[in-house]
Amino acid sequence: MLTQFIETIRERTTQPLQLYYDICVRCGACIDACHFYVESNDPAHIPAYRMLLVKKLLQQAERSGQSLASWYHESRPADQRMVDELKKALWECTGCRRCAVFCPFDLDTGLLVSAGRYALQQEGMGLDMVAEIGNAEVSKGEIVDMIKEFYIDQVKELEKRLQNEFAPDLHIPIDKEGARVLYVPLVGEHAIVPMAKIFHAAQEDWSLSLFTATNHSFFVGDISKAIQAARWIVEEARRLGVKTIAYPECGHATRTLLQFFDKWFEQELAGIERISVVQLTASYLEQGRIRLRAGAFDTPLTYHDPCNLGRNAGIYDEPRALLRAMASDFRELSPNKALNWCCGGGGGLIAQPEMKETRMKGGLPKVEQIRRSGARWVTTTCENCKTQLNDLNQHYQLGVEIKGVLDLVSEALIL
Ligand code: SF4
Ligand code: SF4
């Protein structure tokens, strides 16, 4: 039992992860940081307990006979109870890293969860739906030439519609060599429309990517597939000769772009800047390349910091600058920024239908924050958070509306 898991986790145990096993002093400072634990009181949701489970399993596997070292080992057998706890500990985590902020040693649960999820996958205990979407993202690069013409036709239809509805000279360039910015969207026109309007207003020289930014292999800790999926985008950027790769309102994808691309691609990215569209749009505003109607929205609204854009990438000020430029009643959630509560829907949980109950429970601290703010609109800059917040809104009858910051920007643009 758990042979594959143990073998894989040993292979994936890097020096930082080993330090995590060794350094944790079980002070408990991370316990109440986790939204899943505060709502469940289940020890499997305690960040440090996750680590301890894996450590005990590894030490059990290492025990052969009774050596002097065995005295110091804490171990637990690979029985069914262990399997159930491991599955809960490693899959019911959104990778929000709120616990790491509270840890006096900066110990990062995300490291263990990534390795542990991949190891569970090898044992046949994975989140199949998430892994399958990840596989589709990897294989898209192999069929992109076959679907390219169809995709371009669809984009041209959308362009015509926006020319009628928004601006007759708006264009959606695609596969454009020499463009300055390569914009990599999400699946669906909702991620193209606001950016097409913003790029038009800013007179940006851009091109729409043939790919999408999401990377579900990252969620299941399958790093070689995550790199493969991201490589299509890097190759496209190099082929077109762009200066900047811009990622959409998507937390985990933005995290891969800003925090992992350097390590994954090193020299292949030389000279290519990487940026979130939230940062890019805020820079247009700051440079006067776009103008927004002051007071365009007077509904009381708040902003939810997506963990991957805020805590994990430091993007706090840019969305607030955009909101303050167009909303007259902006209210902060408390706590916010680095201490913001996770919405409870990250880490790939949204894509796995049986995780809905876990998500709704884990989202309760967020629900209480929203209620306390008195806001009628909840804005954010992550697709995943929007879906979770919509589900929470419905489930707990919050009576709010969930809005994308860049959707609002596209509505408040002065042309
Ligand atoms: S990363 Fe977030 S969900 Fe995971 S253990 Fe830490 S606080 Fe909980
Ligand atoms: S806060 Fe850090 S050191 Fe303390 S129990 Fe949690 S992981 Fe261990």
Provide the residue type at 33 as one letter.
Answer: A
Q: Is the pLDDT at 58 greater than 60, yes or no?
A: yes
Q: Is the pLDDT of residue 64 over 90?
A: no
- As a whole number, mean pLDDT of residues 135-140 equals 92
Closest CA to 152 of 175, 186, 170: 175
Q: Supply 15's token pair.
A: 């020096």
Residue spans in the chain of domains classed CATH 1.10.1060:
3-122
pLDDT, mean over the chain: 94
Is the four-CA dihedral 154, 158, 164, 168 of positive or negative sign?
negative
Q: Give residue 21's pLDDT band: very low, low, confident or very high (50, 70, 90).
A: confident
Q: How many C-beta neighbours within 10 Å does residue 294 have?
A: 12
Note the pTM of the prediction, 2 decimals: 0.94
pLDDT at 65 over 80: no
Pick 3-122's CATH classification: 1.20.140, 1.10.101, 1.10.1060, 1.10.533.
1.10.1060
Mean pLDDT of 386-403: 98
The mean pLDDT of 36-63, rounded to a whole number, is 90
Write out the residue limits of the CATH 3.40.50 domain(s) in the chain.
Answer: 128-287, 301-412
Give the up-direction half-sphere exposure of residue 104: CA atoms within 13 A in the CB hemisphere. Answer: 7
362 pocket-lining for ligand 1 (C-beta < 6 Å): no
| CATH 1.20.1250 describes domain 128-287 | no
d(CA 190, CA 207): 17
Q: Which ligand does the CA of 37 lie closest to? A: 1
- Point out the least confidently predicted range of 42-46, 369-373, 408-412: 42-46
Please tell us whether the domain made up of 301-412 is placed in CATH 2.60.40.
Answer: no
**The pLDDT of residue 348:** 87
Q: What pLDDT is stored for residue 345 in this prediction?
A: 96
- 114 within ligand 1 shell (Cβ under 6 A): no
- In this model, does residue 62 exceed pLDDT 90? no
Q: Is the CB of 28 under 6 A from ligand 2?
A: yes
pLDDT at 67 over 60: no
Could you report the per-residue pLDDT of 214-237, keeping only the tens digit for each?
999 999 999 999 999 999 999 999
pLDDT at res. 128: 87
Q: What percent of the chain has pLDDT over 90?
A: 85
Centre of ligand 1 from the C-alpha of residue 118, in Å: 17
Q: Is the CB of 96 under 6 A from ligand 1?
A: yes
| Residue with more model confidence, 350 or 73 | 350
For residue 100, which atom of ligand 1 is closest to its CA?
6
| CB-based contact 293:299 (threshold 8 Å) | no
Ligand closest to Cα of 113 equals 1
Indicate the range of 64-73, 270-279, 280-289, 396-405 predicted with least confidence.
64-73
- Mean pLDDT check: name the lowest of 65-79, 112-126, 167-181, 276-290: 65-79
Give the whole-angstrom CA distance, residue 219 versus residue 217: 5
Ligand 1 center–CA 260 separation, angstroms: 20
292 CA → ligand 2 middle, Å = 45
Tokens at residue 68, please? 């002097």
Mutate which of 103, 106, 111 for ligand 2 pocket (most atoms within 8 A of beta carbon): 103
What is the residue with the minimal CA distance to atom 2 of ligand 2?
Answer: 103
Classify each residue of 98-128 as buried b or exposed e, where b means 16 or more C-beta atoms within 10 Å of its C-beta.
bbbebbeeebbbbbbbbbbbbbbbbbebbbe
Ligand 2: residue whose CA is nearest its atom 6: 30
In short, whether 172's Cβ falls inside 6 Å of ligand 2 is no
3-state secondary structure of 327: strand
Determine the pLDDT at residue 141: 85
The band of 69, judged by pLDDT with boundaries at 50, 70 and 90, is low
In this model, does residue 295 exceed pLDDT 90?
yes
Lowest average pLDDT, out of 17-26, 302-311, 379-388, goes to: 17-26
